[in-house]
Structure 1
Amino acid sequence: MEYRRLGKSGLQLSALSLGSWLTFGNQISDKVADELMGIAYDAGVNFFDNAEGYAEGKSEEVMGKIIKAHQWERESYVVSSKVFFGTENKGPNRTGLSRKHVIEACHAALKRLQVDYLDLYFCHRPDKNTPIEETVWAMNTLLQQGKILYWGTSEWSAAEILEAIRVARQYHLVGPTMEQPQYNLLERNKLENEYLLLFKEYGLGTTIWSPLASGLLSGKYTAGDAKDTRLDMKGMEWLKESALAEEKLAKVKKLQTLADELNVPLAKLSLAWCLKNPNVSTVILGASKTEQLKENLTTLNVLPLLTDEVMEEIEGVMETKPILPQF
């Protein structure tokens, strides 16, 4: 396993990590979740990603039981939670980024995960109804109390992150260390365009999600054996419609041809492509089957195949590179 610094921080994360969105406490059994975490940990994965909103809190409960049962040394792994969407009860102060919810959600996540502190704590979405100052102060309070070690954002705009940094500097508080954006061969603007100043000037780290574009880049849809996927789950209709657009599928089929020429599974080619970006601190893998995870955890072996020529071929096929503004 390769380890990368989380932006300018001293924290080192495995280049490949394991997330629990849509799987733990929902799509897969607790037994399979246990097996997946064991396989990942044994392969050198040290970061496990979670959130209060995943399976309405059940995902964190499942992960907490697994961590406790394995009795891994606390220093050997990094665990996260995210605050915004709340759990099963959506009362007026049970969602969003108010000081009340940020702090109460942290306490609840600690109980569900059965840990004394969260390594990473994310603001899962921006909250238009709460001043950024209030959220930054709340995060700083949790940092001072030792309940979280680093805080960050997920799917915030560059302007919103910059405002959080400005507030933190104004009041001599600790600003955001990392952002968790979607990043894959079909979704590239934030990481390759919007956040460039944040990387250059502030050393922002990234823990990217959906590197396989909700399975579109996994090879399932080009092999014609896509049954019972996460896109077929109840409530995922919005994602299925977006992910399986004909234009995207046509590009992915061409990419499959290139992967076949390289004798590499499409999923591993797509994951390795994400890892080639130096601004990616870790790629969060999602998995519902042990064989799938074992295969994808060997992605680092593919990196040497991604020469400049191959990267250009990929660009020629996908044509998704953001057009940067000319100054």
Structure 2
Amino acid sequence: MKFSHVGSSGLVVSRLAYGNWLTRGPSRNAETDQECVRAALDLGITTFDTADLYADGAAEESLGRALRGMRREGVEVLTKVFGPTGPGRNDMGLSRKHIRESIDGSLRRLGMEYVDVYQAHRYDPSTPLAETMEAFADVVHSGKAHYIGVSEWTAGQIRRGHALARELRIPLVSNQPQYSALWRVPEAEVMPVCEELGIGQFVWSPLAQGVLTGKYLPGRSRPEGSRAADANDGSEVLTPWLKDDVLERVQRLRPVADGLGLTLAQLALAWVLRHPGVSSAVLGASRPEQLADNVKALEARLDDGVVAAVEEALGPVANRDPAATESSSPTDPEWRLS
């Protein structure tokens, strides 16, 4: 395993993080959950990402059970707050009430006294940013989190949040955007601002929901047992990528990967990790052996020619629109009242 500082902070994380978003939901059994976490630990992965929203809290519970007995100081645990955790109007968003209640719920489910990074899962236009950051300051100053982070915030939102964090003397150290060779949205605005401010990236979906593994072929049915074939495992998030023009472009990467002795998945991970702003790439797994294969990407070195070849293959179908970041969060300040 290789390790990296998160931005300009002193926090060190593994270059690959294990995430339990969809792959540890109700469609996976408890035994597989435990096996994947043990495999991650055996491979040297020390960073684990989750959220209170995932599987209605069951993901945090599962991760907590899997890490029980580990030396707490030897792992880095990230969780998030924003999405609905109950039926009430205050069971969502980034209000002081929801943040203070949600951190206690997350720690209870994880069975831990603190998390290493507590992240705002999305931006909340219905709550004053000062209220949100003051609530995060309370979380840090009470010892329930060491650092704070954000996910899918725009460059302007990150800049304003970082300024308030500095005033409140709390470390906003990370951003968690979607980022892959097919989803290059953060490159134009978000990543440059984060680099300026010393904020590192925990990127999610570096394999574009598995599309960059090459297992989905143009004109073919979805492979049995794959996420795209499982209506209970988030198959809807794959829909934008399961177009023949996209899948055909992904297949053009095969000779590039073969020339490096890599799988398509390893090539896609190496492409993401080459970016200097990326502290860690968050991976899910439904089988332990997937993690063992993915870790090999850490040894790959992509020269300018390889990067250009990836650009040529995927350029016409890659999304680079900065506006896609803002569209992932609610924009109406009254969204919780509707």
| TM-score calculated relative to the size of structure 2 | 0.89
Question: Per-residue deviation at 1:250?
Answer: 1.9
User: What is the alpha-carbon distance in structure 1 between the residues aligned to residue 154 and residue 60 of structure 2?
Assistant: 27
- Could you tell me which of 276, 279, 282 is aligned with 2:277? 279
Pairing of 1:301-316 with structure 2 (within 5 A): 301=299, 303-304=300-301, 306-316=302-312
Alignment equivalent of 1:207, drawn from 202, 206, 210: 202
2:133 counterpart of 1:140: no
Pairing 1:81–2:79 present = yes
Contact 1:102 1:138 in 2 (8 A): yes
Q: 1:269 maps to what in 2?
A: 267
Structure 2 residue runs without a partner (length 5+)? 323-338
1:220 Cα deviation from its structure 2 partner: 1.2
Pairing 1:152–2:149 present: yes
Aligned residues of 1:219 and 1:265 also touching (Cα < 8 A): no
Query: 1:315–1:321: 8 Å Cα contact kept in structure 2?
Result: no
Equivalent in the alignment of 2:119 = 122
Check the 8 A contact 2:211/2:247 in 1, yes or no.
yes
**1:45 aligns to what?**
45
SS in 1 for 2:223: coil
Aligned-partner residue type, residue 296 of structure 1: N
Alignment-derived partner of residue 12 in structure 1: 12
- One-letter code aligned to 1:273: W
CA distance in 2, matches of 1:31, 1:323: 40
Residue-pair matches, total? 317
Partner residue, 2:295? 297
Please give the secondary structure, in 1, of the residue aligned with 2:188: helix
The answer to whether the 8 A contact 2:223-2:229 is kept is no
Task: Please give the alpha-carbon distance, in whole angstroms, between the structure 2 residues aligned to 1:61 and 1:86.
Answer: 17
* Structure 1 residues not aligned, in runs of 5+: none
Instruction: Identify which range, 220-229 or 134-143, moves more after superposition.
Output: 220-229
Q: Is the 8 A contact 2:137 2:168 kept in 1?
A: no
Paired amino acid for 2:56? E
Structure 1 contact 164–175 (Cα < 8 Å) conserved: no
SS in 2 for 1:269: helix
d(CA) in 2 for partners of 1:17 and 1:237?
22
Aligned equivalents of 1:249, 1:84: Cα separation in 2: 33
Where 1:215 maps in the other structure, the secondary structure is helix
Q: Distance in 1 between matches of 2:321 and 2:111?
A: 45
- Aligned CA-pair RMSD: 1.9
Deviation at 1:293, TM superposition (A): 1.5
Q: CA deviation at 1:253?
A: 1.3
Matches within 5 A, 1:254-265: 254-265=252-263
Report the counterpart of residue 160 of structure 2 in structure 1. 163
Contact 2:183 2:319 in 1 (8 A): no
Superposition deviation, residue 164 in structure 1: 0.9
| Closer, same or farther: CA 145–6 of 1 in aligned 2, 3 Å | same
The letter for the 1-side match of 2:147 is Y
In 2 relative to 1, CA 216–173 (structure 1 residues): closer, same or farther, beyond 3 Å? same
**Which structure has more RCO (C-alpha within 8 Å, separation ≥ 6)?**
2
The aligned residue for residue 87 of structure 2 is 90
Whole-angstrom CA distance in 2 between matches of 1:313 and 1:194: 24
- How far apart, in 1, do the equivalents of 2:150 and 2:191 lie? 16
TM-score, normalised relative to structure 1:
0.92
Q: 1:45-66, CA deviations, whole angstroms, 9 ceiling, x for partnerless residues?
A: 1101000111010001111111
Shift of 1:28: 1.6
Seen in structure 2, the aligned counterparts of structure 1 residues 291 and 168 have a Cα distance that, compared at 3 Å, is: closer
Counterpart residue number, 1:107: 104
Return the letter of the residue paired with 1:125. Answer: R
CA–CA separation in structure 2 for the residues paired with 1:85 and 1:196: 24
Q: 1:242–1:321: structure 2 CA closer, same or farther, 3 Å change rule?
A: closer
1:176 corresponds to which of 172, 179, 190: 172
